[in-house]
Chain A
């Protein structure tokens, strides 16, 4: 059985420092929710509050319909995977996995059956008699997952489980975690600072900053409709280009004027945005353009709301499938994602095409989406 989790005005202070400043979060049974944010935003603390490893300073935590504010971790029916794996170094892999069941006095036969079932699934059956010290990072990670899985809890909590692995293994394990979730259908709360992990795994993402949740929604919504500059800048790699400018209304058309006297570019806003916004002429705004929304002119199929402008190439950064071109408008540096064959040498003028239907507009002073 998967259980839902509900947080109501959850607060946590360490001494005089407020770490979690009143968080409301509703997690449906079977959902995969990723808490993402920069280090120090309180995401691990929030996870520890759900697990019961930290005590609440205020608010309510409900798991599976029961308020668990004062329930110790062992009685919350949760399992947790830690960043450092936290395997017991003096115990064999088998005993690491069954320790939780031993502590709960589960019959030996049941323990063996669980170990057999999950060690095959995680491909650690040949490691059962080794000590954690004799395992590689990826194997330790699997054992840590096994320890969580055998308990068959209602809720899984992951605290940056992949950040100690090398890049390739991280991608493999990411896929495996996703497969496991699809297969077991349990509720998962997953903490990471890696926005790609968040995008790939989550059914819903909660973007956190300074002890608050900035935005909570499905990955596509977080990526396509960020509520403010923080979320927009945090999600996506390379990050969204942020162009400060002024709103310009001339006749029917609405522009964002960016740059300085040296180089001025007027981006025409598509009707969808132009009709929505209410701010007046000359309002200070920030135009957000994802790197993939800027490409070499004429290389994509024609579409509505395209805008073409020319700037010299400053830096060329090939990544393999795409090449990043860094260029400037005024004092702001932008990144465009172009096909490798379209790249030009630094210094040469380059014709950029922008898909303005993908543009985002933010209020410069409040940072909120317009």
Chain B
């Protein structure tokens, strides 16, 4: 055995430590499995045929892989009376989520920038009030929002839903950006002012390029919230303008015919794919943005 020159920071490997290490990995592996099993069951069920589902068990892997359930969920499953699958509703969701995310993120960034770099009397009060919005539950705004949408003539439309999500998301996006910008040196904004740039010039040319980490966090958060929302979707849209979450519910909770578990599973995965995609793409960029933008002062 080598002498202990490292004062116990690096310890020699013993039988005991090897056993403990093995135990550690076993426990970690079990937790992994615990979290992954629902996904595995969903994927494997979505690849089985209905007969196989009826005959086999829940966790058995598919004997014969078939994508019929996926194509049915995508283009021919019945949502209510309409049997075009999730496809049209996916487009609804994209048409709703993309503008809503962009709008709420942009407005949140401008809010945060104005609240931290262009201090005005009462800025703290305004921020406190905006922050308060983050603690208002969805249910509370349902009725006033329904009235507002009715007045604006946007009831039951995708633009109406965009408005709802933008307004509701502002509290969070403002909070994210305000907390990010508070750490950005005021000197930079002052220097840009003396260099001759105005409020929006400084915002777009100096401040926004610096805030990529905040943008990524906000986009992930907002996209996940808006895409996964069910309550606003079911309350403020009707039939053809439903987002995919509502359509998924209508596919799964149908009270007529045989329960097609494989189609349900495929539909659920399809509905969840975009958020996973955003997380993977933006998440990678997020880490890169963090390390590339790192500098003191």
Residues of A whose CB lies within 8 Å of any CB of B are: 51, 53, 72-74, 78-80, 82-91, 99-100, 103-104, 131-133, 140, 147, 151, 164
Q: Pick the residue among A84, A88, A104, A140 that contacts B196 (CB under 8 A).
A: A104
CB-CB under 8 A from A131, the residues of chain B are 295
- Which 6 A-B pairs have CB atoms at the shortest separation, nearest pair first? A133-B295, A86-B187, A100-B195, A74-B196, A90-B209, A103-B196
Task: Tell me if B's interface is mostly helix, strand, loop or mixed.
Answer: helix
Binary CB contact string for chain B from 257 to 297 against chain A (1 if under 8 A, 0 otherwise): 00000000000000000000000000000000000011111
**What's the minimum C-beta distance from B205 to chain A, rounded to whole angstroms?**
8
**What's the minimum C-beta distance from A162 to chain B, rounded to whole angstroms?**
14
B42 CB-CB contact with A under 8 Å: no
CB-CB under 8 A from B187, the residues of chain A are 82-86
Binary CB contact string for chain B from 160 to 192 against chain A (1 if under 8 A, 0 otherwise): 000000000000000000000000010110111
Q: Is the CB of A53 within 8 A of B197?
A: no
Q: Is the CB of B194 within 8 A of A99?
A: no
Most chain B CB neighbours (cut-off 10 Å) among A83, A100, A164: A100
Q: Is the CB of B206 within 8 A of A88?
A: yes
Q: Is the CB of B195 within 8 A of A133?
A: no
Q: Pick the residue among B194, B293, B297 that contacts A51 (CB under 8 A).
A: B194
B193 CB-CB contact with A under 8 Å: yes
Could you tell me the distance between the alpha carbons of A87 and B195 in the complex, rounded to whole angstroms?
A: 12
Q: Is the CB of B190 within 8 A of A100?
A: no
B38 CB-CB contact with A under 8 Å: no
Q: Is the CB of B294 within 8 A of A133?
A: yes
Q: Other CB < 8 Å A-B pairs besides A85-B297, A100-B194, A103-B201, 4 of them? A: A78-B194, A79-B194, A86-B187, A133-B293
B210 CB-CB contact with A under 8 Å: yes
Residues of B whose CB lies within 8 Å of any CB of A are: 185, 187-188, 190-198, 201, 205-206, 209-210, 293-297
**What's the minimum C-beta distance from A277 to chain B, rounded to whole angstroms?**
48
CB-CB under 8 A from A78, the residues of chain B are 194
Could you tell me the distance between the alpha carbons of A270 and B74 in the complex, rounded to whole angstroms?
A: 104
Q: Pick the residue among B194, B295, B297 that contacts A74 (CB under 8 A).
A: B194
Q: Is the CB of B190 within 8 A of A99?
A: no
Could you tell me the distance between the alpha carbons of A132 and B188 in the complex, rounded to whole angstroms?
A: 12
Q: Is the CB of A82 within 8 A of B191?
A: yes
A-B CB contact pairs (8 Å), 13 listed: A86-B191, A87-B188, A89-B188, A90-B206, A90-B210, A99-B197, A99-B205, A100-B194, A103-B192, A103-B201, A104-B196, A131-B295, A133-B295
| CB-CB under 8 A for A103 and B195, given A89-B293, A89-B295, A90-B293 | yes
Could you tell me the distance between the alpha carbons of A343 and B193 in the complex, rounded to whole angstroms?
A: 55
**What's the minimum C-beta distance from B216 to chain A, rounded to whole angstroms?**
15
Could you tell me the distance between the alpha carbons of A315 and B102 in the complex, rounded to whole angstroms?
A: 69
| Nearest opposing residue in chain B for A90, CB measure | B209
**What's the minimum C-beta distance from A252 to chain B, rounded to whole angstroms?**
61
**What's the minimum C-beta distance from B296 to chain A, rounded to whole angstroms?**
8
| Nearest opposing residue in chain A for B206, CB measure | A88
Could you tell me the distance between the alpha carbons of A90 and B292 in the complex, rounded to whole angstroms?
A: 9
CB-CB under 8 A from A87, the residues of chain B are 188, 191
Could you tell me the distance between the alpha carbons of A79 and B195 in the complex, rounded to whole angstroms?
A: 7
**What's the minimum C-beta distance from B219 to chain A, rounded to whole angstroms?**
18
| Nearest opposing residue in chain A for B208, CB measure | A90
Could you tell me the distance between the alpha carbons of A99 and B189 in the complex, rounded to whole angstroms?
A: 13
Could you tell me the distance between the alpha carbons of A53 and B295 in the complex, rounded to whole angstroms?
A: 25
**What's the minimum C-beta distance from A137 to chain B, rounded to whole angstroms?**
9
CB-CB under 8 A from B188, the residues of chain A are 86-89
Q: Is the CB of A73 within 8 A of B210?
A: no
| CB-CB under 8 A for A103 and B197, given A89-B210, A90-B210 | yes
| Nearest opposing residue in chain A for B297, CB measure | A84
Q: Pick the residue among B194, B197, B198, B209 that contacts A80 (CB under 8 A).
A: B194
| CB-CB under 8 A for A147 and B191, given A89-B293, A90-B293 | yes
Q: Is the CB of B191 within 8 A of A132?
A: no
Q: Is the CB of A80 within 8 A of B190?
A: yes
Could you tell me the distance between the alpha carbons of A131 and B185 in the complex, rounded to whole angstroms?
A: 17
| CB-CB under 8 A for A74 and B209, given A131-B295, A133-B294, A133-B295 | no
| Nearest opposing residue in chain A for B189, CB measure | A86
Could you tell me the distance between the alpha carbons of A100 and B195 in the complex, rounded to whole angstroms?
A: 4
Q: Pick the residue among B196, B210, B297 that contacts A100 (CB under 8 A).
A: B196
Could you tell me the distance between the alpha carbons of A311 and B105 in the complex, rounded to whole angstroms?
A: 74
Q: Is the CB of B193 within 8 A of A74?
A: yes
CB-CB under 8 A from B297, the residues of chain A are 84-85, 140, 164
Q: Is the CB of A99 within 8 A of B192?
A: yes
| Nearest opposing residue in chain B for A15, CB measure | B121
CB-CB under 8 A from B296, the residues of chain A are 133
Q: Is the CB of A86 within 8 A of B210?
A: no
Could you tell me the distance between the alpha carbons of A86 and B294 in the complex, rounded to whole angstroms?
A: 15
CB-CB under 8 A from A85, the residues of chain B are 187, 297
CB-CB under 8 A from B205, the residues of chain A are 99
Q: Pick the residue among A72, A89, A99, A140 that contacts B195 (CB under 8 A).
A: A99
Could you tell me the distance between the alpha carbons of A265 and B193 in the complex, rounded to whole angstroms?
A: 59
CB-CB under 8 A from B206, the residues of chain A are 88, 90-91, 99
CB-CB under 8 A from B295, the residues of chain A are 89, 131-133
